[in-house]
Chain A
Amino acid sequence: MYFRIIRNDISNSKLITLTTMIFVAAAAMLVSLAAVLIVNLSGSIHTLMTQAKTPHFMQMHSGDIDSARLTAFAKQQGNVEDFQVAEFLNMDGAQIILGEHSLVNSVQDNGFSTQSKKFDYLLDLDGNIIHVNDGELYVPISYMRDNTAKVGDIAMIGGKEFTIAGFLRDSQMNSSLSASKRFLVSEQDYAEIKNLGSMEYLIEFRLKDMSELRAFEAAYAAAGLEANGPTVTYTLFKMMNALSDGMMIGIILLVSVLIVVISLMCIRFTLLAKIEDDYREIGVMKAIGLRVSDIKKFYLAKYAAIAAAGSMLGFALSLVFKGMLLENIRLYMGESHNSSYASLFGIIGILFVFLAIIAYANRVLKRFRTISAAEAIRYGTAQEKNTGTNRFNLSGNRLFSTNVFLGIQDVLSRKRLYVTSLIVLVISAFIILVPQNLHNTISSKSFIQYMGIGSYDMRVDIQQTDHISEKTAEILHTMNSDPAITKAAVLTTKTFKVKTEDGSEENIKIELGDHSIFPIAYAKGKAPAEDEIALSAMNADEMGKQVGDAITVVINGDEKALTVSGIYSDITNGGKTAKAVFTDDTADMMWSIVSAELSDKALVHEKVSAYAERFDYAKISDIDEFVSQTFGSTISSVKKAAKAAIIVALIIMVLVTLLFMKMLVAKDRHAIAVMKAFGFTNSDMKIQYISRSVIVLIVGIIAGTLLANTAGEMLAGAAISSFGASMFRFEIDPLSAYLYSPMMMIGSVLIATVIGVSGVGQIKISENMKE
């Protein structure tokens, strides 16, 4: 009997049933993919870290090292299984050229190592320990991913030539979130380039009993051993490896939650409409003594069927897309050892979606309890007093045309039903606006300024060369006598030592010069004056400094106290920079930048080529070009995402509106027939339905926009902070966000409504009114 009921019901509402099923399938697919990804990710990480023998405890250290003391400590600790000190030769990005790409703008700390002897191996893409020959270079896998390098390319490291022999997996530094990247060279080559960079030591331990890690950490700290650098444990390595794919899993889960909500809304709408329709029947069933739970079963059966079909479809789809999403994990971490469990967890995820749907439908059906049998049989409708519609009488209506009035009236008196489509519209507006605002923000001029780049037109980078200061002076001189250039400024970056709280020293890159010529925006405080220093957000964070705190910098051998004047966001040079105005002639110049403003912006291109020709040792760039190189790929992928989001959201809006309207018309056919009998034309009826749609739409757009500007901004801010921005405000393009997007939404919903209500014309008075 259930089967017959389901079949009849479904054939009466094919479209909405199908759509609901598709939404359920999409949700089930995403949840299952997320589950599969989680299992594979954890499995692959485990495999990688086992094969590479990742250290359980690692202390990074820059400065001198007392090997004998460390060895003694390792011997004396009963829990230590193995101990080694690995070297990491940190080299400036400007010194590393892979094929045609220089790593000068790389945000990573790139460094060179030799293969470890005992553990912490660097692995090839099959998970084997790499044996590297002289002249060969193995490159971190992330440079393969972003197409910076390919096998066979020639690499120039500090002027020495290498051939890229392959890519490596590094269980410590694989993640794009890890600030450092290890390149692998042979022992002999390493010795040759050793003096080109600054040395950092990786003091590494493997323990017999991982659970005693805390005790070991405490013992290391207590022994007062080398500790000038971060400490990283096995757990943290694991987390870093999980993070970027974890973020993708997070986004998939977020999207699947939205889709689950949309499918629940479809179900809610159908159910509420069905209950309204069947009000009298439900009353009769109650009157003849059926229990509420019995009646519920008739209705639940259909949703169980939809949910089951959707879940199965979703599972099938997840099998199709699984490979694509696992590609990244496989590339970075290799195969998982427990992938056989993955499908099991996928199924559990799907089961979860299935149960959520049943539970929700069951909840909506709770309304049965409140249906009075007598009322239902006598009036065929709920006798609930329509709050809010009382003062809204047709007889008192002067404002709206009668059709518009009836539309508004209907929305007000069936709030429950319309809230459902409202939620879908709000979600869609949110999906449209957030990525769009994000894109607009990160591509706006003020954001660039905010990200640590002043508003100049042309920029000259002088690095990777000798006599930097002479060359810089020459360029500045030329610019000063160039009438097309209105102002120019030189900023020179040098490395200094800075004293940390515990008395140890750290390197800091400080940009010296006049920072007032092309000011940047400070998140806190202001530009540095004499005896002051401004820190990038990442540096301030890491050093634990606030505006007003003091910092001790070693200049020319003397310690000098500087006050932190301001904190700014910076996306250049790995986000760790500082700005000051003091003069110093001793420290080595790492690079310098000459920035210039032109009187006529149209000349930028011409000027750039002219200077490039004249000063072939410098890199001359148009600022827009510089920005697009620095984070153009981020902007363009956000742009793509924004476009995709618009399309997806519009499709959802159109589909859901279309279905809801079709259902409403089918449901209201009796009322439509009554009005037609009294001389309302088909277009009158359509205007009524369009008014309903427009009201819900307007509320939806407003609510969606508000939500996007608050919750959406927070969400986007969280994503952006990973680039080194400390504070985030949406930069909204009012034309696009408040005119084009709403117009697009209104347009598509209106079209969908018009199509959805076209059935009004087919409703025959006679068929609905015949006695």
Chain B
Amino acid sequence: MKKLIIGDHIVKSFGEGDERRHVLDGVSAFIKEGEFVAVMGPSGSGKSTLMFALSGTDDVNGGTVVFDNQDLSAASENELSDIRRTSMGFVFQQPTMLKNLNILDNIILPSMRDHRRNAASLTIKARALMKRVGIAELEKRDITQVSGGQLQRAGICRALMNSPRIIFGDEPTGALNSKSAQEIMDIFSEINEEGTAIMLVTHDANVAARTERIMFMSDGNIVSELQLPKFDGTDMDRRVESVTAKMLEIGI
């Protein structure tokens, strides 16, 4: 498979003078088209920072990030916005919906910017997505009138609206109980089946075990990787075991 995103010796540092330290210390990483990867590591190891760097949402202090043959570090703000809107989707841990809009409007919001004339077809698409993730009946609700799991599903619908080539999820199941988390992971697996690449940051071995490649981070470096066969609904226990074993091995 072709590589969709290539990060090469990415350096990201925070602070000034003596305080200055590298949060990403020359990290190289890639994501192939249609690949399902996870990033694990202790708190503060730089997982989120890596995700923001690879998606071009945050500028880097060194190295390059190339998305689909385009150098993100050289792209303008507006070009980055366009790429995010048309080719990427994001799902975060905390609800990141606009308070003023109902669930349906929140979902279609990013696509409405470019396709206002097609509001009707966008609505149809959004309803189909909502139905698929099991929140079909919630479209008119306010975001404060639904549960965390439902909100996260709506977030996934929003990320899928523009049929992105990759979805980034920063601990998308972090705030959910394990049952809800597994349901969300079922949705992610399905989306991945259809060819969308996914990069998840997670602490949860059960979540990571669903993916096909896991990058382990520590102190701003990728210290190890674990390759798994593509998940087909079986062998879950063995997969989880190998993830936990690897975590123990590198001490996280």
The range of chain B's interface size is: 35 or more
- Cβ of B113 and Cβ of A771 under 8 Å apart? no
Pairwise interchain contact B98-A674, C-beta atoms closer than 8 A? yes
Q: How far is the CB of A75 from chain B (nearest CB, A)?
A: 87
Question: Interface size of A by Cβ–Cβ distance < 8 Å?
Answer: 41
Which residue from chain B places its CB closest to the CB of A770 in the assembled complex? B48
Mostly helix, strand, loop or mixed at chain B's interface?
helix
Q: Which of A375, A381, A677 contacts B90 (CB 8 A)?
A: A677
B174 at the interface (CB under 8 A from A): yes
What chain A residues lie within 8 Å of B184 (beta carbons)?
A: none
> Cα distance A677–B168 when bound, in Å?
11
Decide yes or no: A771 and B81 within 8 Å by CB, A381-B144, A678-B109, A765-B58 being known contacts.
no
B57 interfacial contact with A, CB 8 Å = yes
How would residues 116 to 130 of chain B score, 1 for a CB under 8 Å from any chain A CB and 0 otherwise? 100100110010000
Asked if A679 contacts B113 (CB within 8 A), the reply is yes
B246 within 8 A of A: no
Say yes or no: A681 contacts B77, CB within 8 Å: yes
Shortest distance between the CB of B234 and any CB in chain A (Å): 31
**Interfacial residues of chain A within 375-411, with CB under 8 A of chain B in the complex:** 375, 379, 381, 383, 385-386, 389, 393-398, 401-403, 406, 409-410
B9-42 vs A, CB cutoff 8 Å, 1 = contact: the mask equals 0000000000000000000000000000000000
Chain A's closest residue to B92 (CB) is A769
A18 at the interface (CB under 8 A from B): no
Residues of B within 8 A of A401 (CB): 116
Find out whether the CB atom of A395 lies under 8 angstroms from the CB atom of B99: no
Residues of A near B122 (CB, < 8 A) are: 395
Collect the chain B residues with CB atoms within 8 Å of residue A741's CB. none
Given A393-B104, A398-B119, also A769-B96 (CB < 8 A) = yes
Nearest-CB residue, chain B, relative to A386: B100
A771 contacts B119, CB within 8 Å? no
Tell me, yes or no, whether A102 is within 8 Å of chain B by CB: no
**In chain A, residues 387-437, which have Cβ atoms closer than 8 Å to a Cβ of chain B?**
389, 393-398, 401-403, 406, 409-410, 413-414
With contacts A761-B77, A765-B57 taken as known, whether A680 is within 8 angstroms of B110 at the C-beta atoms is yes
Q: Describe A's contact surface by its main secondary structure.
A: helix
- B114-154 residues with Cβ-Cβ distance < 8 A to A are 116, 119, 122-123, 126, 142-145
Q: Which of A712-771 contact B (CB under 8 A)?
A: 761, 764-766, 769-771
Q: Is the CB of A770 within 8 A of B170?
A: yes
Contact A680 B170 (CB under 8 A): no
B231 within 8 A of A: no
Alpha-carbon distance between A393 and B99 when the two chains are bound, in angstroms:
13
| Residues of B close to A277: CB separation below 8 A | none
From B175, which residue of chain A is reached at the shortest CB distance?
A: A771
Residues in chain B near residue A410, CB distance under 8 A? 100
The answer on a CB contact under 8 Å between A771 and B171 is yes
Q: Check: A671 CB closer than 8 A to any chain B CB.
A: yes
B107 shortest CB reach to chain A, Å: 9
- Which residue of the partner chain A has the closest CB to B172? A771
Is the C-beta of A607 less than 8 angstroms from some C-beta in chain B? no
Interchain nearest-CB distance for B125 vs A (Å) = 11
CA distance A409 to B108 in the complex (A): 15
Does any Cβ of B come within 8 Å of A684's Cβ?
Answer: yes
Q: Does A682 contact B (CB under 8 A)?
A: yes
Residue pair A771, B92 in contact (C-beta under 8 Å): yes
Given contacts A393-B104, A402-B112, A681-B81, contact A379 B170 (CB under 8 A): no
The residues of A that contact B143 with a CB separation of less than 8 Å are 379
CB-CB under 8 A from B119, the residues of chain A are 394-398
Residues of chain B contacted by A394 (CB below 8 angstroms):
101, 104-105, 108-109, 112, 119
A558 to nearest B CB, angstroms? 84
Residues of A within 8 A of B78 (CB): 681-683
Please determine whether A383 and B142 come into contact, CB atoms closer than 8 angstroms.
yes
Task: From B48, B81, B86, B94, give the contact of A766 (CB < 8 A).
Answer: B48
- The chain B residues found within 8 Å of chain A, CB to CB, are 48-49, 52, 57-58, 77-78, 81-86, 88, 90, 92-94, 96-102, 104-105, 108-110, 112-113, 116, 119, 122-123, 126, 142-145, 158, 162, 170-171, 174, 201
- Interchain Cβ contacts under 8 Å between A and B, 28 examples: A381-B99, A383-B142, A383-B144, A394-B112, A395-B104, A395-B105, A395-B108, A397-B119, A401-B116, A402-B112, A403-B113, A409-B101, A410-B100, A413-B99, A670-B96, A674-B98, A675-B98, A677-B57, A679-B113, A679-B162, A680-B81, A764-B58, A769-B90, A769-B92, A769-B170, A770-B52, A771-B48, A771-B93
Q: Which 5 A-B pairs have the closest CB atoms?
A: A679-B85, A394-B105, A678-B110, A766-B58, A766-B52
Contacts A409-B101, A684-B81, A766-B52 given; 4 further ones with Cβ under 8 A? A674-B96, A676-B57, A676-B81, A681-B81
